[in-house]
């Protein structure tokens, strides 16, 4: 990897454009407020940009990507009814849920709600109905993480409400790439909204995706998950196509309600143009000005010395 300073204004020949020279991406132009960042070229498997990507930090509901993989790997019937019980109530943080005690849904629907709307009771009920119960489920989560090479990752619950669920930006990217192999996870995390008929009452409830970029329809997103608890800050992980290349974006510990979305839009603009996003576009994208945080020495961005993404026409912001 090269530092941003060494990388700036470097010219290379790109064989994809007939050997014509063009500038490599200048990491100094990408100013992100998220504390832990990884931008990964998923096709080549190499990082394009990173900031404190090896720092261990809570990941909140990004956890649910692992939860979903463990559920699917168990091959339990997806049409089997799963019930919300007392053990699924959040006594740790008192988070709100629209799934009341006794709510019944097929496992498939619980999985969808856990992923797209980050429903904590849905995720908890999936773990509780796992063979061997909650403890066996968490053990399976940690085994799956170890199998994926996530050596600095640890899970204590299926929801991400526990601050003991920790990982790094690099290892979250490993998890996201693994989760993207599952069609059900890709479909659920990129569904904008969904209605379910909750039994035994027959109540029809509508749920929205927690990622506004999915709901906007202006990004080409193949996988998405958000997360938030106080200790983790706002988190966002996506597998998306930018400039005709598959890109994994991991943004952890963002401050403020709109920062992670603003950072994602800044990343997209930078990858497509090689330039910093104008302030006017940032305001338009996130409906508020994002004040950049100071970068500490421990979080100096790194930019990989790889070919830049080919510029394409900007999608509406």
Active site residues: 61, 64, 118
For residues 241 and 74, the answer to whether their CB atoms sit within 8 Å is: no
Query: For residues 55 and 36, what is the distance between their CA atoms, to the nearest angstrom?
Result: 7
142 in helix, strand or coil?
helix
| Tokens at 148, concatenated | 């994926």
CA-based Rg of the chain, rounded to a whole angstrom? Answer: 20
Q: Where are the beta strands (DSSP E) in 150-274?
A: 166-167, 193-198, 203-208, 221-229, 233-242, 245-254
- Do 247 and 240 contact (CB within 8 A), yes or no? yes
Q: How many CA atoms lie within 13 A of 281 on its CB side?
A: 16
């Amino acid at each position: 990897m090269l530092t941003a300073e060494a990388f700036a204004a470097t010219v290379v020949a790109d064989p994809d454009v007939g050997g014509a020279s063009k500038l490599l991406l200048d990491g100094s132009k990408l100013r992100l407020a998220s504390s832990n960042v990884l931008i990964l070229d998923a096709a080549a498997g190499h990082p394009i940009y990173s900031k404190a990507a090896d720092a261990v930090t809570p990941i909140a509901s990004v956890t649910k990507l692992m939860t979903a993989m463990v559920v699917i790997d168990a091959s339990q019937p997806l049409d089997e009814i799963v019930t919300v019980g007392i053990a699924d109530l959040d006594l740790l943080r008192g988070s709100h849920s629209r799934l009341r005690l006794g709510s019944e849904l097929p496992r498939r629907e619980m999985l969808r709600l856990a992923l797209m709307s980050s429903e904590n009771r849905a995720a908890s009920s999936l773990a509780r109905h796992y063979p061997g119960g909650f403890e066996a489920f968490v053990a399976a989560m940690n085994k799956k993480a170890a199998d994926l090479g996530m050596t600095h990752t640890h899970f204590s619950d299926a929801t991400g409400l526990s601050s003991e669920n920790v990982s790094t930006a690099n290892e979250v990217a490993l998890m996201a790439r693994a989760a993207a192999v599952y069609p059900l996870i890709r479909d659920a995390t990129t569904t904008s909204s969904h209605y379910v008929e909750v039994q035994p009452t027959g109540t029809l409830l509508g749920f929205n995706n927690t990622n506004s970029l999915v709901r906007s329809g202006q990004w080409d997103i193949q996988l998405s998950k958000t997360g938030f608890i106080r200790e983790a800050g706002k988190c966002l992980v996506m597998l998306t196509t930018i400039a005709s290349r598959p890109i994994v974006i991991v943004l952890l510990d963002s401050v403020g309600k709109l920062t992670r979305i603003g950072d994602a839009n800044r990343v997209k603009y930078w990858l497509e143009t090689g330039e910093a996003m104008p302030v006017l576009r940032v305001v338009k994208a996130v409906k508020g000005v994002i004040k950049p945080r100071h970068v500490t020495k421990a979080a100096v961005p790194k930019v990989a010395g790889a070919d830049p993404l080919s510029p394409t026409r900007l999608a509406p912001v």
